[in-house]
Amino acid sequence: MAAPSDFINYIDANADKFIHRLADAVAIPSVSSEAARRPEVVRMAHWLNDQLKALGVETRLVDLGTHVMDGEELPLPPAVLGKIGDDKAKKTVLIYGHFDVQPANKSDGWDTDPFTLTVHPTNGQLIGRGSTDDKGPILGWLNVLQYHAEHKKPLPVNIKFCFEGMEESGSEGLDELVEREAKPGGWFDGVDCVCISDNYWLNTRTPALTYGLRGIAYFKATIAGPARDLHSGVYGRMIHEPMTDLVLLMSKLVDPQGNILVPGVEDMVPAPDDAERAIYHKLDYSIQDIEETAGAPITVSSDKVEVLMNRMRHPSLSLHGIEGAFYGPGGKTVIPAKVSGKFSIRLVPPQTPEAVEKLVEKYLKDEFAKLGSKNKFTLDPVHGGKPWLADFNHWNFDAAKKATKHIYQQDPDLTREGGSIPVTLTFAESLGVNVLLLPMGRGDDGAHSTNEKLDRSNFIQGSKLLGAYLYELGAVGK
Amino acid sequence: MAAPSDFINYIDANADKFIHRLADAVAIPSVSSEAARRPEVVRMAHWLNDQLKALGVETRLVDLGTHVMDGEELPLPPAVLGKIGDDKAKKTVLIYGHFDVQPANKSDGWDTDPFTLTVHPTNGQLIGRGSTDDKGPILGWLNVLQYHAEHKKPLPVNIKFCFEGMEESGSEGLDELVEREAKPGGWFDGVDCVCISDNYWLNTRTPALTYGLRGIAYFKATIAGPARDLHSGVYGRMIHEPMTDLVLLMSKLVDPQGNILVPGVEDMVPAPDDAERAIYHKLDYSIQDIEETAGAPITVSSDKVEVLMNRMRHPSLSLHGIEGAFYGPGGKTVIPAKVSGKFSIRLVPPQTPEAVEKLVEKYLKDEFAKLGSKNKFTLDPVHGGKPWLADFNHWNFDAAKKATKHIYQQDPDLTREGGSIPVTLTFAESLGVNVLLLPMGRGDDGAHSTNEKLDRSNFIQGSKLLGAYLYELGAVGK
């Protein structure tokens, strides 16, 4: 069933009020990765909890204990669980979002104060930290709830909420919570499907549904040589220099065209057939789109399908940097004693961190042995996460497709993301149900960057889309 | 003529007073590379100027103007020029030293406060920033002057002094000063030879005289790609990643055995003949010495002659680090937009920075072209300095050999240094006279490291050595 026009009109009529509420949320600097701002994340949890209760949602603040960050033991912000509706005849959808944000300082290069939501005078963009990641989408759900609360209308589905405050800092404590509450009698017992609104359209034009995420295997390759940093004048060419060994090893991981040189890693992934290539061909995306957002004409191919497959269905290997070497401006003549190369491989099914780690370790050990260096080599996996793929022919996706068509009068792009949202897989595996990613914002929102924004139309039309999705879900029937 | 025993005894009798004066000098944190501490360098210049005047030296503080450091215009600390003696029948020696020091913070890993000279309770080491580099040697000269001032004894030679406060920051302004004062009528007019005490013995046992220094050509190779840092999940494998290109280029510069891979660079240097190899064979140095000071068994060869030639008479190429990439702990999934690899080549005659820069630029441009990357490559020379070699059969060296034999009862090692002291070449070329490097400290002093030290015996015997050298110079006659 399509969302009632009364609901659609209500969202339009109350748009300014909704933007005002988003400003209240953005004003709380809930940066989870800064110890000094941890109390603000807790404040944000209570703010959200109060909003949900006021809209008729039964809630629970769940203490997730403590963790150690930068050597300091800190309390984790509570997770906010919610439930509304208990009609056995209706489907039950679990909605996830996060109320913590990335760090932001005006001095990073923001044009406006990052924690003051600023409406752009001409294009209407809502600029502020968390506007699109992920306070905007969370507040989209509140907007939907508000219509039903004010009009005392029952929702078309039962809803469970799971909101966390540590997403930008590794979702500490969340996996355990989800696994616990997924069990019979738990908060999430009886959930039929999951919807997460925490990613973005491919471009700035076409709504998207997302059915896949790449996993990741992050590595730290360390070469240790002398007991301390040495002077290159005194020791240059007398000893095996750790940087020489490390740079040589790192150069053997990936070529300039992006091909992964670790034997076996590419081979794990089956080649695409014509049907799969057709999916990518259909996407509303161009080489020009990439060049515009990257800011330079540096795509590895001029074929859009190749480039999109490289992002969505192929693994990728990026060299991030070197810890322990000279990194400042100017010219320091140091031989660094111990250097660690950081690199990561984005994974696609059927790759797993464990399988890829084994290949990387064997390869780098063999390559290091060939160097004839007396330094010491070690490889540490830093973190890992499996890739995720959902069935986009499921009724959960069908509901979202219909809702998109209703609100935007166009079919959504069906996308896979190059990045990772680890909790997606936790929900899929713990609950054993279909998970849908339903993005609200655009590809140029700059989620982790300066001047993060959410377009006004994406917030308002997006709120309608979330409601419309619930109505289409309700229409599927139990 | 050997130094009088009265002088030798005086130095022993006043050792504790001299150490006290060294403590006063170390207590002034004259770090030239930190803007906030620039006034301390100026204070140190005045302290030294006052010491010299009190010992009968005619001095001049020379304003060297200003320079720009980290975007800030700063006054350069004045150079301290001095002269004592004007006897036409005596030789005139120019003595150089520097009163600025490297940065040091307790938190870098010092066991004691770096600016409080600490006498080690058992081995008597004098621990503090500048103890060996280069305040100890400067104060050694003051100790010699003090004997002659207190006893109203004329010095065996005329002395000109040139002390600067920017050696650790590129000796800004010094070349111009030396060139100006070397002209007829200038402060250095009439100088017969130069002595610089600003390097170290090869080991901890054998005094050394140094007749060669390597030059340097320091490079910054930059790869620029996207307009800003990108997320590796979103852009991984879609674009040419600057780190991939840079690491590949850097891997083609030097092999793990230290061989320089830039065509032409090694070929510029003639191979050693047996006579030259014999010099290195004779040096009191072992693979074990290197392993002990480096803290690990990582020499590129087990042949001492090969390893020493690698340090002293072969060029070397060291990779120092990467600017612009991720360098912190943990795992950040960034594709850095613009990265600059820092590396330097230590040069030996007949190499020059200009000749080597040309070879490096052509090679890296060619190698970059082979990568098939759409990123942009640029190479910038950061700084350069020519190598230096002196005639160690000169009377200036003979005087130092005799003085060493007198004070230490052993022949000095005749060494070339792997590092650079650019002003050495300026003196040699501007004055056209022989330059001798006469080190006071040991090979394990840790000049630029934490816990920098000067052994008590090196300070006291070293002061005698400087005096004895002047007497042997005096004996050469005009």
Instruction: Say if residue B61's pLDDT is above 90.
Output: yes
For the packed helices A135-150 and A38-54, what is the interaxial angle rounded to 10 degrees? Answer: 20
Instruction: Say if residue B170's pLDDT is above 90.
Output: no
Question: Which pTM was predicted?
Answer: 0.87
Contact partners, residue A303, CB within 8 Å, separation at least 6? none
Q: Over the stretch B108-156, which tens digit does the pLDDT of each residue have?
A: 889 999 999 999 999 999 999 999 999 999 999 999 999 999 999 999 9
Q: Does A329 touch chain B (CB under 8 A)?
A: yes
Q: Is residue B295 in some structural domain?
A: no
Please answer yes or no on whether B295 and A228 come within 8 Å at the CB atom.
yes
Please answer yes or no on whether B243 and A418 come within 8 Å at the CB atom.
no
| The residue type at B245 | D
Task: Nearest by CB to B373, from A216, A256, A419: name it.
Answer: A256
Task: Tell me if B164 sits within 8 A of B171, measured CB to CB.
Answer: yes
To the nearest whole angstrom, how far is the Cα of B478 from the nearest Cα of chain A?
37
* Last residue in a domain, options A333, A367, A385: A385
Please answer yes or no on whether B346 and A236 come within 8 Å at the CB atom.
yes
To the question of whether residue B168 is assigned a binding role by annotation, the answer is yes
**Taking CB atoms and an 8 Å cutoff, what residues of chain A touch B317?**
236-237
Instruction: Say if residue B69's pLDDT is above 90.
Output: no
**Taking CB atoms and an 8 Å cutoff, what residues of chain B touch A334?**
320-321
Q: Is residue A16 in some structural domain?
A: yes
Task: Nearest by CB to B297, from A236, A296, A374: name it.
Answer: A374
Q: Is residue B126 in some structural domain?
A: yes
Task: Nearest by CB to A247, from B216, B250, B315: name it.
Answer: B250
The CATH number given to whatever domain includes residue B183 is 3.40.630.10
Q: What is the 3-state secondary structure (H, E, C) of A320-350?
A: EEEECCECCCCCCCEECCEEEEEEEEEECCC
Considering the domain architecture, whether residues A257 and A405 belong to the same structural domain is answered as no
Distance, in Å, from the CA atom of B445 to the CA atom of B458, rounded to the nearest integer, reads 11
Q: Which pairs from B104-111 meet CB under 8 Å and 24+ separation?
A: B104/B29, B104/B31, B104/B129, B104/B450, B104/B452, B108/B450, B109/B450, B109/B451, B110/B450, B110/B451, B111/B450, B111/B451
Q: Is B446 or B97 the better-scoring residue by pLDDT? A: B97
Q: Is A260 or B71 the better-scoring residue by pLDDT? A: A260
Q: Does B320 touch chain A (CB under 8 A)?
A: yes
Q: State which residue of chain A sits closest to B312, comparing Cα positions.
A: A234
Distance, in Å, from the CA atom of B158 to the CA atom of B155, rounded to the nearest integer, reads 7
Distance, in Å, from the CA atom of A190 to the CA atom of A160, rounded to the nearest integer, reads 10
Residue window 191-250, chain A: list those with CB within 8 Å of chain B.
214, 216, 218, 220, 225-241, 243-245, 247-248, 250
Distance, in Å, from the CA atom of A459 to the CA atom of A139, rounded to the nearest integer, reads 9
Q: Is residue B299 in some structural domain?
A: no
**Taking CB atoms and an 8 Å cutoff, what residues of chain B touch A310?**
236-238
Task: Tell me if B384 sits within 8 A of B133, measured CB to CB.
Answer: no
Considering the domain architecture, whether residues B380 and B392 belong to the same structural domain is answered as no
Q: Is residue A291 in some structural domain?
A: no
* Last residue in a domain, options B332, B353, B385: B385
Please answer yes or no on whether B243 and A314 come within 8 Å at the CB atom.
no
Considering the domain architecture, whether residues B135 and B258 belong to the same structural domain is answered as no
Task: Nearest by CB to B294, from A239, A245, A311: name it.
Answer: A239
Q: What are the residue ranges of helices labelled H in B14-114? A: 15-26, 38-54
Q: Pick the closest to residue A197 from A258, A152, A286, A137 (CA basis).
A: A137
Instruction: Say if residue B83's pLDDT is above 90.
Output: yes
Considering the domain architecture, whether residues A183 and A265 belong to the same structural domain is answered as no
Please answer yes or no on whether A375 and B290 come within 8 Å at the CB atom.
no
Q: What does the pLDDT read at residue B218?
A: 94
ipTM of the complex: 0.88
> What value does the mean pLDDT take over residues B425-442?
97
* Last residue in a domain, options B361, B385, B409: B385
Please answer yes or no on whether B232 and A449 come within 8 Å at the CB atom.
no
Q: Is residue B259 in some structural domain?
A: yes
Instruction: Give the 3-state secondary structure of residue A135.
Output: helix
Task: Nearest by CB to A290, from B227, B238, B251: name it.
Answer: B238
B147: tokens are 């004997």
Instruction: Say if residue B383's pLDDT is above 90.
Output: no
Please answer yes or no on whether B322 and A321 come within 8 Å at the CB atom.
yes
Considering the domain architecture, whether residues B262 and B156 belong to the same structural domain is answered as no
Q: Which residue in B167, B192, B445, B452 is the catalytic one?
A: B167
Task: Nearest by CB to A294, from B239, B333, B450: name it.
Answer: B239
Total domains present in chain B? 2
Task: Tell me if B250 sits within 8 A of A317, measured CB to CB.
Answer: no
Q: Which residue in A40, A134, A164, A167 is the catalytic one?
A: A167
Residue window 374-433, chain A: list those with CB within 8 Å of chain B.
374-375, 382-383, 417-420
Q: Does A33 touch chain B (CB under 8 A)?
A: no
To the question of whether residue B198 is assigned a binding role by annotation, the answer is yes
Q: What does the pLDDT read at residue B363?
A: 98
**Taking CB atoms and an 8 Å cutoff, what residues of chain B touch A442?**
none
Q: Where are the beta strands (DSSP E) in B386-475?
A: 388-389, 413-417, 434-437, 453-454
Q: Are strands A338-347 and A316-323 parallel, antiparallel or unpaired?
A: antiparallel
Distance, in Å, from the CA atom of B149 to the CA atom of A452, rounded to the nearest integer, reads 72
Confirm whether B50 is a catalytic residue: no
Q: Is residue A165 in some structural domain?
A: yes
Q: What does the pLDDT read at residue A430?
A: 96
Considering the domain architecture, whether residues A236 and A380 belong to the same structural domain is answered as yes
Q: Pick the closest to residue A416 from A302, A301, A309 (CA basis).
A: A309
Q: Is residue B438 in some structural domain?
A: yes
Tell me the percentage of chain B whose pLDDT exceeds 90.
90
Q: What does the pLDDT read at residue A331?
A: 85
Q: What does the pLDDT read at residue A25?
A: 98
Binding positions of A for substrate: 198, 231, 333, 346, 420, 448
Task: Tell me if A455 sits within 8 A of A203, measured CB to CB.
Answer: no
Please answer yes or no on whether B298 and A417 come within 8 Å at the CB atom.
no
B397: tokens are 């060296």
Considering the domain architecture, whether residues B237 and B172 belong to the same structural domain is answered as no
pLDDT along chain A (478 residues), means of 10: 94 98 98 94 98 98 93 94 97 98 89 97 96 98 98 98 94 95 97 97 95 96 95 94 98 98 98 94 94 94 97 97 92 92 97 97 98 98 92 97 98 92 92 98 89 97 98 94
Considering the domain architecture, whether residues A176 and A59 belong to the same structural domain is answered as yes
Please answer yes or no on whether B300 and A326 come within 8 Å at the CB atom.
no
**Taking CB atoms and an 8 Å cutoff, what residues of chain A touch B244?**
254-256, 258, 318-319
Considering the domain architecture, whether residues A209 and A228 belong to the same structural domain is answered as no
**DSSP 8-state code for residue B268:** G
To the nearest whole angstrom, how far is the Cα of A219 from the nearest Cα of chain B?
8
Q: How many C-beta neighbours within 10 Å does residue A379 have?
A: 19
Instruction: Say if residue B422's pLDDT is above 90.
Output: no
Q: Does B67 touch chain A (CB under 8 A)?
A: no
Distance, in Å, from the CA atom of A71 to the CA atom of A107, rounded to the nearest integer, reads 26
The CATH number given to whatever domain includes residue B334 is 3.30.70.360
A412: tokens are 């959504």
Q: What does the pLDDT read at residue A420?
A: 82
Q: Pick the closest to residue B193 from B459, B439, B2, B391 (CA basis).
A: B391
Distance, in Å, from the CA atom of B230 to the CA atom of A259, rounded to the nearest integer, reads 19
Instruction: Say if residue B291's pLDDT is above 90.
Output: yes
Task: Tell me if B91 sits within 8 A of B478, measured CB to CB.
Answer: yes
Q: State which residue of chain A sits closest to B339, comparing Cα positions.
A: A321
Distance, in Å, from the CA atom of A460 to the CA atom of A10, rounded to the nearest integer, reads 11
Q: What does the pLDDT read at residue A320?
A: 96
Q: What does the pLDDT read at residue A382?
A: 87
What are the C-alpha distances in Å from A270 to residues A267, A312, A314, A348, B54? 7, 14, 9, 10, 84
Q: How many C-beta neighbours within 10 Å does residue B393 have?
A: 9
Q: What does the pLDDT read at residue A369?
A: 98
Considering the domain architecture, whether residues A131 and A83 belong to the same structural domain is answered as yes
Q: What does the pLDDT read at residue A293?
A: 87
Task: Tell me if A197 sits within 8 A of A425, measured CB to CB.
Answer: no
Q: Does A331 touch chain B (CB under 8 A)?
A: yes
Distance, in Å, from the CA atom of B284 to the CA atom of B413, rounded to the nearest integer, reads 7
Q: Does B370 touch chain A (CB under 8 A)?
A: no
Please answer yes or no on whether A327 and B322 come within 8 Å at the CB atom.
yes
Q: What does the pLDDT read at residue B448?
A: 82
Task: Nearest by CB to B238, from A236, A300, A325: name it.
Answer: A300
Q: Does B346 touch chain A (CB under 8 A)?
A: yes
Please answer yes or no on whether A342 and B332 come within 8 Å at the CB atom.
yes
Q: State which residue of chain B sits closest to A199, comparing Cα positions.
A: B234
Q: What does the pLDDT read at residue A478?
A: 81
- How many A×B Cβ pairs under 8 Å? 296
Considering the domain architecture, whether residues A167 and A223 belong to the same structural domain is answered as no
Instruction: Give helix then strand counts, H and E, for chain A.
Output: 14, 20
Confirm whether A380 is a catalytic residue: no
Distance in Å from the first CA to the final CA of chain B = 14
Angle formed at CA B410 by CA B404 and CA B415, multiple of 5 degrees:
70
Considering the domain architecture, whether residues B123 and B230 belong to the same structural domain is answered as no
Q: Pick the closest to residue B133 from B97, B104, B106 (CA basis).
A: B97
Domain encompassing residue A185:
5-213+387-475
User: How many CA atoms within 13 Å lie on the side-chain side of A320?
Assistant: 28
For the packed helices A242-250 and B242-250, what is the interaxial angle rounded to 10 degrees? Answer: 130
| The residue type at B438 | L
